[in-house]
Amino acid sequence: TSNRLRHVESMAIFPSGAGKIPALNAVILGEALASEEDDLVFPSDEFSQQALVPSPQKYLEIYKRSVEDPAGFWSDIASEFYWKKKWGDKVYDDNFDVRKGAIKIEWFKGGITNICYNCLDRNVEAGLGDKVAMYWEGNELNVDGKLTYSELLQKVCQLANYLKDIGVKKGDAVIVYLPMLMELPMTMLACARIGAVHSVVFAGFSAESLAQRIVDCKPKVVITCNAVNRGSKVIYLKDIVDTALVESAKNGVSVDVCLTYENKSAMSRENTKWQEGRDIWWQDVVPNYPSTCAVEWVDAEDPLFLLYTSGSTGKPKGVLHTTGGYMVYTATTFKYAFDYKSSDIYWCTADCGWITGHSYVTYGPMLNGASVLVFEGAPNYPDSGRCWDIVDKYKVTIFYTAPTLVRSLMRESEEYVKKYSRKSLRVLGSVGEPINPSAWRWFYNVVGDSRCPISDTWWQTETGGFLITPLPGAWPQKPGSATFPFFGVQPVIVDEKGDEIEGECSGYLCIKGSWPGAFRTLYGDHERYETTYFKPFAGYYFSGDGCSRDKDGYHWLTGRVDDVINVSGHRIGTAEVESALVSHPKCAEAAVVGVEHEVKGQGIYAFVTLVEGEPYSEELRKSLILTVRKQIGAFAAPDKIHWAPGLPKTRSGKIMRRILRKIAARQLDELGDTSTLADPSVVEQLIALGEDS
């Protein structure tokens, strides 16, 4: 309790005038917090005292400067990195308002740097050459590896030299379809070193999804491996790539080189299908190249990577990030949100196929010279204690994961956790979807032994790095709240009309003004970038998320408000699933909604209308699901198919998803007004049929 008092008192000493920054007003008043103290979880004195940001005052002081003088704030931080040439007169230049012209975001323009150099060479030169950059834990117990910063630099240089040799140049796209081997971050860094633009495709995506991305960005080379072990399964990645390359060639994009890593523990090269001339074994070429490679110096605004993500239409969006701002932003957010210390062993369970793996497996941590653990396997293999076994084995201090994993482990016996010491842990993290308070408490109490603050980081592929996140030593936490904005970030909550709402409220979450890590465009489609993100609420970046702010100023994310669903932290556009379903010859129409799911957060619930005369059958249900797995990937397979003789539509033909969501959730007394439907009897039919019927 002394600890609790210390915090409440420290908040009370803020001059009330310091709360000019919206959303911070309530928090600075000690009384406001004290009244809800049952919901507050305080960092220990011991933790706060050693923390980079030890108190709310300190946070507020830094935050104030960051929003009052963004140029000064971010250029001070940027100066800690290596720049071949410093940026021009303007630290940043942006237009966030469509009414004033094209949307533009630039940070450190004219500055010349290289993010790979800053991740590796700079750390080696600072004396971290022998420090472990990556620990690698294989799928099977006792299969592991590691690389120091010097070793990683050498391997990155060899690959970079190879890529240059086959003609990959600055600005060229490289598609990477690899599992969580050390070669994945290595490949990203090698591309960055030569100024090539990597586009990592999550290795759970199907051949068709991969082909779609290849056709969109036309890479010089695709980098993959023959197969990978995941849990008790073997996944044959090279076969998927082969199919994708045939498919993309049909669409006019042929790829000359498929560099394939031989992942011996999963599959030997003898068994791998091979296309002479196109396919090259990594191990046959890369090690023969020199282990030093001159850096390609790039402008801060030159592209670093493309990452495809789901939106509310069927076509994935190529989110484009550039170099300088992204570098400064991921490094800084990593450092503060996890209270990073050089002695930390950091483990993020995300795959590099998603943004979390870009910003917080590869770039953010390595820019800080951290030791990063990369895990190839599945968290419940060979049993549900695997994560804690790994934590003990490597003495992991920062463990960053997703609510879906927490919930799935929470269902198993606590013995799987208690069996391991976990005493090395000091900070926990959560990302991907809102973490429900009960999962938060289990994570906090059981995994962290009520000792480790949880950084519930809210952000997106588009934002590059954390926008709303606790700073673990500073804030008392409320289970399930992402708390407060990171430095330089100005979140606002707007109503339907786009007017900012103050105080306790809920609405649409937008951001005012740019931050260095923001995406700069959608590849090849700046218009869609403006339409999707900047037009809904003119003057702001619109996140697509709903959010409420409580009386203490804490932010509570409430999920997507667009047609995107979040399944196990994976973003899936309902339109993508629908278009996969209707490609099935027996499907006439489909409408997909999200429905609450105990482990995955949201499950996929599909209403399907079959072509005239086609009878429902179990076989057909399976075949529809298989179609989605083949077109998108297993993670997008519908959990439920609800046969629908008709779909509820307005007279103008628009599907009323609101009603479908209620039917899926079995909230039949909340259907609302159905009188505007073209045929209200459709609803009765749907209810009568029920799911899977």
For the annotated catalytic residues, the residue numbers are: 562
Nearest approach, Cβ of residue 584 and ligand 6R9 (Å): 27
Residue 80 tokens, joined: 């800690």
Provide the pairing of β-strand 601-610 with 640-643: parallel
Nearest approach, Cβ of residue 337 and ligand 6R9 (Å): 11
Q: Which of 123, 212, 457, 514 binds ligand 6R9 (CB under 6 A)?
A: 457
Place of tokens 């509310």: 312
Stretch that binds ligand 6R9, among 75-83, 182-190, 384-392, 458-466 (CB under 6 A): 458-466
Stretch that binds ligand 6R9, among 163-171, 297-305, 341-349, 453-461 (CB under 6 A): 453-461
Strands (E), 254-377: 257-261, 279-281, 298-299, 303-309, 317-322, 345-348, 371-375
The one-letter code for the residue type at 639 is D
* Residue 248 or 309 having the CB closest to ligand 6R9: 309
Question: Taking CB under 6 A as the rule, which mask of x and - marks residues 481-500 in contact with ligand 6R9?
Answer: -x------------------
* Residue 371 or 566 having the CB closest to ligand 6R9: 566
Residue 224 tokens, joined: 């993959």
Asked if 554 is part of the footprint of ligand 6R9 (rule: CB under 6 A), the reply reads no
Q: Which of 154, 333, 356, 568 binds ligand 6R9 (CB under 6 A)?
A: 356
Asked if 571 is part of the footprint of ligand 6R9 (rule: CB under 6 A), the reply reads yes
Residues 512 and 572: their CA atoms lie apart, in Å, by: 26
Question: Interface residues for ligand 6R9 in 292-311 (CB under 6 A)?
Answer: 309
- Give yes or no for a contact between 304 and 311, defined as CB atoms under 8 angstroms apart: no
Stretch that binds ligand 6R9, among 31-39, 490-498, 539-547, 572-580 (CB under 6 A): 539-547
Asked if 545 is part of the footprint of ligand 6R9 (rule: CB under 6 A), the reply reads yes
Asked if 55 is part of the footprint of ligand 6R9 (rule: CB under 6 A), the reply reads no
* Residue 262 or 552 having the CB closest to ligand 6R9: 552
> What are the distances in angstroms from CA 169 to CA 172, 191, 192, 218, 672?
6, 9, 11, 13, 57
Asked if 458 is part of the footprint of ligand 6R9 (rule: CB under 6 A), the reply reads yes
Residue 146 tokens, joined: 């590691």
Report the half-sphere exposure of 167 (CA within 13 A, side-chain side): 6
CA proximity to 372, closest of 62, 627, 149, 678: 149
Q: What is the DSSP annotation of 11-57? A: HHTS-GGGGGSTT-TTTT-HHHHHTTGGG-BPPPHHHHHHSSS-SHH
Residue 555 tokens, joined: 């932010």
Question: Interface residues for ligand 6R9 in 387-446 (CB under 6 A)?
Answer: 430-434
Stretch that binds ligand 6R9, among 77-85, 209-217, 457-465, 605-613 (CB under 6 A): 457-465
Asked if 566 is part of the footprint of ligand 6R9 (rule: CB under 6 A), the reply reads yes
Asked if 456 is part of the footprint of ligand 6R9 (rule: CB under 6 A), the reply reads yes
Q: What is the 3-state secondary structure (H, E, C) of 533-583?
A: HHCCCCCCEEEEEEEEECCCCCEEEEEECCCEEEECCEEEEHHHHHHHHHC
CA proximity to 588, closest of 612, 564, 560: 612
Residue 90 tokens, joined: 């303007």
* Residue 75 or 463 having the CB closest to ligand 6R9: 463
DSSP state of 124: I
Asked if 384 is part of the footprint of ligand 6R9 (rule: CB under 6 A), the reply reads no
Nearest approach, Cβ of residue 511 and ligand 6R9 (Å): 12
Residue 256 tokens, joined: 């000359």
Residues that bind ligand 6R9 (rule: CB under 6 A) add up to a total of: 25
Q: Which of 168, 241, 355, 447 binds ligand 6R9 (CB under 6 A)?
A: 355
Asked if 511 is part of the footprint of ligand 6R9 (rule: CB under 6 A), the reply reads no
Residues 240 and 236: their CA atoms lie apart, in Å, by: 7
Residues that bind ligand 6R9 (CB under 6 A): 309, 354-356, 430-434, 456-461, 482, 543-545, 557, 559-560, 566, 569, 571
